[in-house]
Structure 1
Amino acid sequence: MAIPNHIITIDHFVSMQMNSLQDSNVVRFFVLITSLASTPIYVLMVFFAAVNCWVKRQRYVIVGLLIATLGSTTFTSLMKYLFQRERPANNILSVQTYSFPSGHATTAMALYGFIAYLLIRFSQNFTQKIRIFTMAILFIMLIGLSRVVLNQHYLSDVLGGYLVGGFWLTLGISITEGLSSKNKITWNIEWSNFHIYMVWLSGFGVLVSTLIYAKIYQLPILS
């Protein structure tokens, strides 16, 4: 399948501008950001989210989580095969898969979007809901931006990834809300210190794992 010429022109222009940042200190920051949507961290996040829902006895939530994440990942792989678009020539990190759509952008939207949805649904504080939503949007945008800055993807790859992730995120949320309407899920629940610690420990574990992954597999490539 072919990508329109005007989109290709914009993509190449943006990619050329990103070349000027390759020797900048900002690269290391975006390597850490992009690592948050790498496959090992993605799998770890899904695992932690599922475990937390299972322990909290909200197991039907896992159905929506898996639909959003596994569905988006499978569909992205199919799209990459159909388009077979090569990555930008000056990409910083070594990647063998095709470029369109961006798997990191898809993951950011589907996985982190769904986790943000869960945190918002379980939260009883309106101000906290707004903060979670705002932080999620910023976080997802940073991951997508990292793919462009590092020249791992063209701009349209990232936007395409957002669309794919957004579709599966919407589907996952819709199914979760459908289960909720059938009283399969209880949102207004009490959170014990144990469960709160589990959530924070999961987040800390993901952060540490991301730093280790970036340190061992990503940052050495820049040397």
Structure 2
Amino acid sequence: MPLTTPGVDHDITRWVADHRTAWLTDVFRVITTVGNTAAMTLIAVVAAIVLWRIGSRDRALTVLIGSASGWLLMQALKHLIARPRPEPRFRVIAIDTFSFPSGHAMMSAVVLGLVGVAAWQTSTRVRAHPAILAIAPAASLLIGASRVYLGVHWTTDVVAGWVIGAIWVVLAGALARALRARRRTTAPARDVS
């Protein structure tokens, strides 16, 4: 059954459409491109390669597997809920897939969140300058906002995408920690004689 929200979602979408400007539309077109599947995949793969090369293979796999499984979850939710997008008259970009959750919002939260956690865990520079970590949520917020501004998602699609993405990052991190702890406790003792 499609999820519909005739109240606040419609009001926000209508207000945004009525207040668009050409320059801001151009800015949000660029921002939304940064949040697409190709860009998020590239970010995840590059981060995983860097992590692998510095010897943090567990974290590289967490970024890759967490991102890929997050994408599968997002696709499953879209098809399960089958929520229609805002009406074509509101859309700046032509798109006809399902709306809930926003893939851009969810996957930017997942990918940038996983990369941010890995950066915190592996980089003394990042730990010394924790403000750097604000880049990930700020970018995800802008990417999600671009989807509402361009009229291709309802606001609740975007908020749900951020929430589900954040939960997925927490779950992926918890699973990775549990697997590392299990591996440490089951590893055979090394002979030091």
TM interval, shorter chain, is 0.7 to 0.9
Distance change (3 Å), C-alpha of 1:77 and 1:153: same
Measured in 1, the distance between the counterparts of 2:17 and 2:55 equals 49
Match of 1:8, SS state, is coil
Measured in 2, the distance between the counterparts of 1:153 and 1:39 equals 16
Matches within 5 A, 1:85-104: 85-89=83-87, 90-104=90-104
Return the offset for 1:152.
1.2
Matches within 5 A, 1:137-148: 137-148=137-148
Q: Deviations over 1:178-214 (max 9, x none)?
A: 3554688xxxxxxxxxxxxxxxxxxxxxxxxxxxxxx
- Aligned twin of 1:158: 158
Return the offset for 1:135.
2.3
- Aligned twin of 1:117: 117
- Aligned twin of 2:34: 36
Identity of aligned residues (%): 25
Q: Is the 8 A contact 2:85 2:98 kept in 1?
A: yes
Matches within 5 A, 1:58-137: 58-89=56-87, 90-125=90-125, 128-137=128-137
Measured in 1, the distance between the counterparts of 2:122 and 2:167 equals 22
Structure 1 or 2, whichever has the larger Rg, is: 2
Match of 2:132, SS state, is helix
Q: Is the 8 A contact 1:22 1:92 kept in 2?
A: no
> What is the count of residue pairs matched by the alignment?
182
Query: What residue identity is the alignment partner of 1:11?
Result: D
Return the offset for 1:175.
2.5
Structure 1 unpaired stretches of 5+: 185-223
Moved more, 117-126 or 154-163: 117-126
Structure 2 unpaired stretches of 5+: 185-193
Return the offset for 1:127.
6.6
Query: What residue identity is the alignment partner of 2:11?
Result: F
What is the TM-score with the length of structure 1 in the denominator?
0.74
What is the TM-score with the length of structure 2 in the denominator?
0.84
Return the offset for 1:114.
0.9
For residue 25 of structure 2, the aligned residue among 6, 27, 50 is: 27
